[in-house]
Structure 1
């Protein structure tokens, strides 16, 4: 027996969209305005989503509960698994005292906190996004910034804003590879189109990041560094995406960006140095450190190498061949039909949970952490104790992530998120402006550019064909606009709060959300303006066969 989604259950798409928005409004409202704990807000949003799905959309109770269970499982694995092991690596470096050494070396490269923010939040975060994605860049960048003396809220905000421009090419191009599969559009054309949109924002984001951190004057004082960081990243992003493909865009661009900043520091320094007042709370004192200073970099080198290797298709395939059981979710798999105009023909939704414990990015982080612990001189029992303390410190946050993803999957399978997307799709001539906002909405709801492309990729293509617009432009805009929603999706907000938690003045999820919400909205609107220009004034920017 199957159940078909109904995107206008109240007979009016506008009224249906208002009701469909209630779960996300509940979640964000409780977080942003009522300072409710994240897990409580997530549970409240989930209960509202249940009510909307069951009583308005007439979704069977069994399917509603199964959708939430599927989301909760996905929240714990792979998302929670990544967060747990990323924080584990950071805690190892603190336990051995190596983070103090790393801190001093980064400060020696540039003691200016704005340059450190560019290096860690923008460039290094982009490298991790390209190799892993799924929350890892925010978790790792946030923890690193905390260790360098950044205030917890500031570290969370910078990690989130910095993790925008690279997202469409994250996890070795997974969002665009998925978009091409869903829409049956040419992958290289999609990669090229996104590569003619996001480089503009790769140039803008470093300036935006530092302005958010240090104000307009503080940003102007380091404009050469912002220009070098963003310019080198954007140029590499354009070239690789247009002439090679989507898989290595972020990794190559991030390496060039980090290298360019390091080279610039050899010849230029900001006149008004802004240094962090590093407190004991930033990275707790540990045992005295012996040995060469380069050992402090080993955990992060191991992390980068393991994550990159785990992302290679040949290694991922081999690991999955050893152990990657897949389970069809009971009651849910192929039981829900997506219908036009979201898809050309009605199709059943898959619901398969893959427990790829060996090939998961979190496992790469776990192996990197244990290897780092051994190399840094910890005994196996000490490493296990650090891991136990790490798990205990994030246990509530793992529950929160599970609840957030349960909410996201409930809205996805009930069709409420599609209702909201269809409202924007009905804007006619203005559709190119709203097209990236659909992607933004998709990422804000699901926490993933890949998931947003699955949800709305076909909708973008079909609407473009009906309006006489380029399907390549509109489908690509879904992914480009989606990246700006990454900083406000519930998953990223919780990850940022977890990564910067456990310190004095650590922010809650609501505080983090308020600090980045309008940045996300403003950048998404700018993407809309760019797409309008490309659709009507600069069509030469759209790639063709």
Structure 2
């Protein structure tokens, strides 16, 4: 597909509209998403020659794909409301105080290590929707809680979710020999280890200010090196389980660290939330194990199902999908036909795990007398009220990304960058992965979308493809920090829906800077033949 400068600039319009409305005009995610969708449709029709039927199919694909995200949001909000209604958050806060009176370490344990653990087994936004309410219950401000969970889950976006995004990458490229595979793993895990270490230090800073960084620097570096080096070593043996195994060890280690005399001193948060009256009357006799009941069940369910191939395959055989015909734009860009597009396996979907955990939690709390009469009505009403606006935003964003992808806009944007930059393209290679995740809110989708493209650029420039493939998925992992749909999951469950632009404004520059640094490292590696 040939491109020109006008088409390339046109592809920027929907993205710029989205960012300006979120960052400058302070629009909510639902309004900005619908505006971005409108502009992507106009560009698709008038510039790229997409017919009305083709655009309608792309929007339909986006709506179908967004269902997977919404099915995570609603049950996650139910878990949150069940815990709030029962008074569990007050008990969790008190229990964390017994673990260590150092509240900064508490935040690191939940927002960095536990969130990383959840990313290792589930992904799909679950770490954000589970972690943010827990942090809020521990006294962290809602906005800060969302920022912390976004940072904490980022590094696990390649080898987490049982290596799903990594499988997506290698399925699109030619890595036929073990030496090339091992080099790709080393490049990728080395950069992800740095992402994780920086995230840990930033989380310590968000929780405790500059003093929090200084006081916890050794602990963060110790855990960061363990996770980074451990993931590298384990990935060479088993990419599917490497992240899960390493974060499981880290989860145990941080609780050992919390028992050290160094962490027996009370340390307050740098900027805590205002104390609120909690529903503790009915939950005053609740213990910490009961308070964590829904989350413990969530972990058990996910581990039992996802790590047991027999159970996973049996439950995963029931799938829902839609068929879509292939179409071609006036410029010659073709889309595939699908007899079963984006099949949804409801029984092994993260939303199913969340919903089952929420139901078990509600039953247990009701039997123990921690939820008062009328609780189920309040839980469902509050959950639904928060889900509707976030669902509108998710549908708008996902449909926008599908319209841009299906009509060739995303491909033209990436190809234009490669064509213009030429030999300095490696500097920008991580940004392609970041773009893919920003548009789709999934490192897996980003790798499928641009993995083959990165390989083609390497062939065109006659350079080693391994660093570019690593840059693709690492950039995608960094992109998960600024992905609007993932941010929406956080703001919805944190009760600050409409502040998506504020969240993006606080992490955008850092994400771009990190991609620039990795791009520079990759560029230098080519110059010296590493």
| TM-score, length-scaled by structure 1 | 0.88
- How far apart, CA to CA, are the structure 1 residues paired with 2:108 and 2:518? 22
Alignment equivalent of 2:354, drawn from 347, 365, 381: 365
Change in 2 beyond 3 A, CA 1:536/1:383: farther
2:146 corresponds to = 156
Q: Distance in 1 between matches of 2:521 and 2:231?
A: 17
C-alpha distance 231-319 of structure 1, shift in aligned 2 (>3 A): same
CA contact (8 A) 1:336 1:349 kept: no
Deviation, structure 1 residue 284:
5.0
Q: Any stretches of 5+ residues in structure 1 without a counterpart?
A: 1-5, 540-545
- RMSD of aligned Cα (Å): 2.7
- Conservation of the 8 A alpha-carbon contact between 2:258 and 2:264: no
Q: How far is 1:217 from its partner?
A: 4.0
Equivalent residue number for residue 324 of structure 1: 319
Which of residues 241, 248, 257 in structure 2 aligns to 1:255?
248
In structure 2, C-alpha distance between the alignment counterparts of 1:44 and 1:91, rounded to whole Å? 31
Give the whole-Å Cα distance in 2 for the aligned partners of 1:281 and 1:233.
36
Name the CA distance, whole Å, in 1 between partners of 2:74 and 2:267: 35
Alpha carbons 2:132, 2:490 under 8 Å: kept: yes
Residue 439 of structure 2 aligns with which residue?
Answer: 445
Q: What is the distance in 1 between the residues matched to 2:399 and 2:131?
A: 26
Q: Does the aligned pair in 1 maintain the 2:50–2:330 contact within 8 Å? A: no
Query: In 2, distance between residues paired with 1:49 and 1:279?
Result: 42
Find the aligned partners of 1:84 and 1:114 in 2 and give their Cα distance.
30
In structure 2, the partner of 1:63 is: 54
1:396 and 2:382 are equivalent in the alignment: no
Aligned length: 517
Deviation at 1:7, TM superposition (A): 5.6
The answer to whether the 8 Å contact 2:8/2:412 transfers is: yes
User: In structure 2, do the counterparts of structure 1 residues 271 and 407 end up closer, same or farther at CA, with 3 Å as the change threshold?
Assistant: same
Name which of 386, 399, 408 aligns with 1:415: 408
Query: What is the CA-CA distance between 1:22 and the residue it aligns to?
Result: 0.6
- Aligned equivalent of 1:334: 326
* C-alpha spacing 1:257/1:118, structure 2 compared with 1 (3 Å): same
The answer to whether structure 1 residue 289 and structure 2 residue 279 are counterparts is: no
Would the aligned equivalents of 2:430 and 2:471 in 1 still touch at CA under 8 Å? yes
Tell me: CA distance 1:432–1:115, structure 2 relative to 1, closer, same or farther (3 Å): same
Is 84-93 or 353-362 further displaced after alignment? 353-362
Residue 449 of structure 1 and its aligned partner are, at CA, apart by 0.6
String of CA shifts for 1:451-475, please: whole Å, max 9, x gaps: 1111111110011122222223212
2:512 aligned with 1:500, yes or no? no
Q: Following TM superposition, by how much is the alpha carbon of 1:220 offset from its aligned partner in structure 2, in angstroms?
A: 1.5
- The 5-angstrom pairing of residues 133-282 of structure 1 reads 133-186=123-176, 188-189=181-182, 190-245=184-239, 247-267=240-260, 268-269=262-263, 273-275=267-269, 277=272, 279-281=274-276
Q: 2:119 & 2:175 partners in 1: Cα distance?
A: 24
- Relative distance call for 1:295 and 1:213 in structure 2 (3 A) is closer
- Aligned residue for 2:462? 468
Does 2:72 correspond to 1:79?
no
CA distances 1:180-220 after superposition (whole Å, capped 9, x unpaired): 11113249544444223212322232113323454444312
TM-aligned CA distance change 1:272 to 1:103, over 3 Å: closer
Instruction: Give the drift of 1:32.
Output: 0.6
Q: Who is 1:516 aligned against?
A: 507
Displacement of 1:385 in angstroms is 5.2
Question: d(CA) in 2 for partners of 1:161 and 1:518?
Answer: 14
Q: How far, CA to CA, are the matches of 1:282 and 1:212 in structure 2?
A: 24
Deviates more, 1:475-484 or 1:493-502: 493-502
CA contact (8 A) 1:133 1:167 kept: yes
| C-alpha distance 164-222 of structure 1, shift in aligned 2 (>3 A) | same
Unpaired runs of 5+ in structure 2?
Answer: none
Which residue of 2 is the match for residue 301 of structure 1? 296
* Alignment counterpart, residue 28 of structure 2, candidates 16, 30, 37: 37
Report how far residue 94 of structure 1 moved.
Answer: 1.6
User: What is the TM-score normalised by the length of structure 2?
Assistant: 0.90
